[in-house]
Amino acid sequence: MLGRDIQELNIITCHLGNGSSIAAVRQGISVDTSMGFTPLEGLVMGTRCGDIDPGLIFIIATREKMSLEAASDFFNKQCGVKGISGLSNDMREIESEAAKGNYRAQLALNVFCYRVKKYIAAYIGVLNGADAIVFTGGIGENSHVVRHQALSDLDFLGIKLDEERNKQIRATEADISLPDSRVKALVIPTNEELVIALETERIVKESGLTDR
């Protein structure tokens, strides 16, 4: 899409869906990702809390008399967008309710986008600059609201969003940045099946099974 070799580029990929993560990709190699040992670390997600003070786990578990198993279930399945909004883990419903003036839905949307923006800015630092920011996943591909909020007030980093084009794009490859934007904002539909197929091919070739 940019007409340049992947080995010349620094890219930040924002895979936003019910499960969400951001990766810093230097010259085609991922050097950092928002997820940690488990998917619980990182962004606020549909039902996962994302980054929190570890001490909070002990305080809530103690006050609510939760077992470790119950606490794990709570932070993974009852928090995030669903917990903040008190409504749903579906961003389409959250955006709809926020537009109607629902305070908690708007809060969930704001927190979700704030965390995305925070990681984008952090990874620009990790990469010492970025050539492109890619939005993918169900939310990243379809929500112009999330893309707008996540990239707002980042023009000093060279990111300039084409607001009208951003509103028009859903689930299709597109450049949604202005022509003079130093950092390009792209929407690229995810293709997990292709990645699985390519990795399977690589493993089979490395195992020598193709020679039998």
Question: Which domains are present in the chain?
Answer: 6-211 (3.30.420.40)
Decide if 140 contacts 147 (C-beta within 8 A). Answer: yes
The C-alpha atoms of residue 18 and residue 80 are separated, in whole angstroms, by 10
**Placement of tokens 């003036």 in the chain:** 101
- Residue range 48-101, pLDDT digits in tens: 999 999 999 999 999 999 999 999 999 999 999 999 999 999 999 999 999 999
- The reported pTM is 0.92
**Placement of tokens 């549909």 in the chain:** 46
**Helical packing angle, 54-63 and 68-77, nearest 10°:** 120
What is the residue-averaged pLDDT of the chain?
Answer: 96
pLDDT (0 to 100) of residue 188: 97
Non-local (6+) Cβ contacts of 152 within 8 A are 117, 161
Does residue 212 have a pLDDT over 60? no
Q: 3-state DSSP call for residue 133?
A: strand
Does residue 33 have a pLDDT over 70? yes
